[in-house]
Amino acid sequence: MEWDDVEGIVFEVVDDLVRRYGVYDLRWDLIGEGYLLYRRCLENYERGRGVKFSTYFYGCLRCYLEGLVLRELKGNDFVFMDEGFFAGYFSGFYGVEDLMEELGLREEEKEVLKLRLEGYDLGEIGEELELSFWEVFSLLKGIQEKGRRVFPNMERRNCIGGDLNIFVRNRDYIKEADIIVFLKEWGLLVDFRSCLRCGGGSLVLRNSVSKGFIYRCGRCKFEWSVRRGSVLEGIRLDFLEILEVLNYICEGKSAYYIAKKLRFSKVTSLKVRKKFEGFLMNFCGYECLRYKKIG
């Protein structure tokens, strides 16, 4: 398929992203990236899979260009807190103070948002305000939800990529317990509420030296791994390594690249990547992974 046949797709996707995120100065850069991606897709396309090239290319293009835009806007899901987003969406009608009033933020939320807009990362905000990483993360998520209620045109993206990027960048500030809560929210771990043996509801999450994180029933003392029944069962990587693998997959990195960066075998990298791809396609809309070659 020639470039002329897909050029309209590229312009349609780029114009939509430019309007949504207010990155008007990136329009021609994104179109150029779209052309380069078109060349790569021609090399990777497998006709025997029964998928039209235009369908395959559109899925890859949408995910790739949106990822570039999000990384440009500080590489996370809190893009509405970026001044460039204000300029694009609200055309200068809202300053920071006006926005805080419009959202009805509490004092603690205002302090967190002000530091975020000054360029502080989440771990640094936690240190400045004496809050845990998870408390800062939850406050910013709450602000984001309020923003969506006030401004309905702020579309919700069911995408784990932005959140992963935040956790990985703040690896020095987060605790494993924070990662477990995060993985539960995204469905990567089962959120057990009762004992698997007796049905009792008195569960305690413990960190065992020999077994890692486990649930322990307060009634019958039965113990089981926090990974039981989840997509992480049988994966021997620690939780931070799991986040890093997921983040690399969302960025479109190959299994070889992941293995080299995290220093484990390519066989392990292929196994883990294949296991996570189904999750990303089902819950995050990363349709381009369905047809992308692995390796």
Ramachandran region, residue 104 (left: φ > 0; alpha: ψ -120 to 50; beta: rest): left
* The pLDDT value given to residue 290: 38
The residue-averaged pLDDT of 4-29 equals 81
Q: Which residues contact 98 (CB under 8 A, 6 or more apart)?
A: none
- Rounded CA separation 25/12 (Å): 16
| Domains of the chain by residue range | 3-72, 79-156, 157-189+232-295, 191-226
Task: Please report where in the chains the tokens 């919700």 appear, as a residue.
Answer: 156
pLDDT confidence tier of residue 226, bands split at 50, 70 and 90: very high
56-79 per-position pLDDT tens digit: 788 778 777 876 776 665 444 444
Q: Which residues contact 135 (CB under 8 A, 6 or more apart)?
A: 126
- H-type alpha helices, 46-106: 53-72, 83-90, 96-103
Quote the tokens at residue 44.
């990777």
253-269 per-position pLDDT tens digit: 788 888 888 888 888 88
Residue 206 near residue 227, CB atoms below 8 Å: no
148-171 per-position pLDDT tens digit: 666 655 544 455 666 777 788 788
* The pLDDT value given to residue 48: 62
pLDDT confidence tier of residue 124, bands split at 50, 70 and 90: confident
Higher pLDDT, 52 or 10: 10
pLDDT > 60? residue 92: no
208-217 per-position pLDDT tens digit: 877 788 999 9
* The pLDDT value given to residue 81: 40
pLDDT > 60? residue 293: no
The residue-averaged pLDDT of 36-46 equals 81
* The pLDDT value given to residue 77: 40
Residue 242 sits at the vertex; the CA angle it makes with 286 and 256, to the nearest 5 degrees, is 70
Higher pLDDT, 122 or 1: 122
